[in-house]
Amino acid sequence: MFDLIIRGGTLVTPAGQARATLAIANGVIKAVAPPGEAMSGALDVDASDRLIFPGLVDAHVHIPGYLLSTRLEDFASATTAAALGGVTTLMLMPTDDPRTATGSYFSRKRDIGERYSHVDFAIQALIGPRTEREDIDEMADLGAISFELFLAYGGNPGFIIGHDDFELRRLMEVVREVGRVVGVTPHSASLIAKLTERQKLFEETRKHREVFEKEKARPPVQVFSLTRPTLSEGLGIARACVVAAETGTKIHLRALSSSHSVGIVNRFRDVVALSSEVMSHHLLFVAEEAHRLGPYGVIVPPIRTGEERDSLRRALRDGDIDMVVSDHSPVLREDKEPGWADIWKTPPGMPGLQTLFASMLALVEDGALSLEDVARCCAERPAAGFGLYPKKGALQVGSDADLIVVDPARPTLIDDSTQRSKANYTTLKGRSINSRIESVYLRGRLIAHQDQMVSEPTGRFVRPSP
């Protein structure tokens, strides 16, 4: 007798699709049997005509108000969005204030998450020039899933590596010694700083030049984008790869946004143990759309051209990019709006947890990916890249029973009104897909059903296996 039987659904895995019946006990998949197999459980669910995906694993999420903020996104709101969207495991980036740079803040974040999270979560640690060896040892012992370093932006002042190669090498060596992954947010600090200075000056003087030269103003989002060119990204990636090759450190490269970056990563695959990610936004949008979104279209790295978007889709399908992440950055409307008047006042970022799976299904409908690619890029690879596979990211005997049940015959309209993040909007507003998430299970427990939460928070902290 099992706790739960899910009968006759079509399992979608990286290897293909096959009808099967799942038997679940104690939160774990105990049997994957032929669809007609006679098995009994306390609960019995008929999933004929349904698709069953592994719950998604999102390796790049921000919860800026995790320390019980009443204004900013907190665990309850972010993980409600995650659960409704089919993300059952997320990894928390360490830059939210207070940043996760010491064992004591790491423990506080874990404790709060264990009380309020609706999905399982892992914690990423922040490292930078001021990080002591003892902090890394302590956070590794506590179960940090990765150690994040920021070459040019994003890591809070004092934690940016900048052009300090001594620190870059030191930190990579220490993380290799504790046996974890270094997450690298690339780019070139000096290139960004000088291009930003130049763009601001150019825009200020344009007002005066206009009188004489009939100059047209560029969309403000484009002005911002010019300060983060693909060269900046490539320089950071190449530099991180060179140091990782030297120190023998496993690295994860964040937010690839161009074919140039993919090409550089490929050149290092033989000499560096690496994985890479693309944000769902870069697979969906082109620059002109971001320009129209105004401050809501500002993310880092910026949304690029249609050719770049198509090259990223191909790279993902071909395995040259390992995984898709949401980079869920739930900037509130009230914080985005001032950006209409002054684009430099816009905090970069878009929410994306609740729409990650729908985004992937939209790409399948566009013919850019297969359903199997979705299982690979959003479940298997992110779990494997960070030491969670096959406990997470798989539909195998012994895996946690984290499941998305999809009705392929009912459409979904993506809209602001259904978003449960405190950033209560989506840049995918108005898009529709042909299928719908019916149920989401976390370790065999139904947590979301027909767009409603049906469970108290039961998310657990997960640590990487050695």
Minimal distance in Å, beta carbon 363 to Zn ion? 21
Centroid of chain to Cα 49: 30
Q: Can you tell me the distance from the alpha carbon of 33 to that of 395, in angstroms, rounded to the nearest whole number? A: 12
| Residue 443 phi, psi dihedral angles, 5° rounding | 45, 50
Annotate 315-348 with DSSP letters as a single string: HHHHTSS-EEE--B----HHHHGGGGT-GGGPPP
Instruction: Provide the greatest CA pair distance for the chain.
Output: 83
Q: Which residue has the tokens 């979104």?
A: 293
How is residue 428 written in tokens? 């995918």
Nearest to Zn ion by Cβ — which residue? 327
Q: Pick from 97, 102, 98, 96: which is nearest to 61 by CA?
A: 96
Which residue type is seen at 106? F
Choose the binding region for Zn ion from 144-152, 225-233, 326-334, 405-413 (rule: CB under 5 A).
Answer: 326-334
Which listed residue (96, 148, 320, 327) binds Zn ion by CB under 5 A?
Answer: 327
Minimal distance in Å, beta carbon 127 to Zn ion? 16
Minimal distance in Å, beta carbon 125 to Zn ion? 15
Q: Do residues 60 and 254 lie in contact, with contact meaning Cβ atoms separated by under 8 Å? A: yes
Comparing CB distances to Zn ion, the nearer of 320 and 327 is 327
Comparing CB distances to Zn ion, the nearer of 322 and 327 is 327
End-to-end CA distance of the chain: 33
Comparing CB distances to Zn ion, the nearer of 150 and 268 is 150
Comparing CB distances to Zn ion, the nearer of 300 and 403 is 300
* Binding to Zn ion in span 201-220, by CB under 5 A: none
Minimal distance in Å, beta carbon 255 to Zn ion? 7
Q: Does 400 bind Zn ion (CB under 5 A)?
A: no
Minimal distance in Å, beta carbon 66 to Zn ion? 14
Comparing CB distances to Zn ion, the nearer of 29 and 290 is 290
Comparing CB distances to Zn ion, the nearer of 83 and 279 is 279
Minimal distance in Å, beta carbon 328 to Zn ion? 8
Which residue type is seen at 193? A
Minimal distance in Å, beta carbon 121 to Zn ion? 15
Q: How many of the chain's residues bind Zn ion (CB under 5 A)?
A: 1
Comparing CB distances to Zn ion, the nearer of 280 and 435 is 280
* Binding to Zn ion in span 266-325, by CB under 5 A: none
Q: Can you tell me the distance from the alpha carbon of 245 to that of 106, in angstroms, rounded to the nearest whole number? A: 29
| Residue 25 phi, psi dihedral angles, 5° rounding | -145, 145
Q: Binding residues for Zn ion, per CB under 5 A?
A: 327
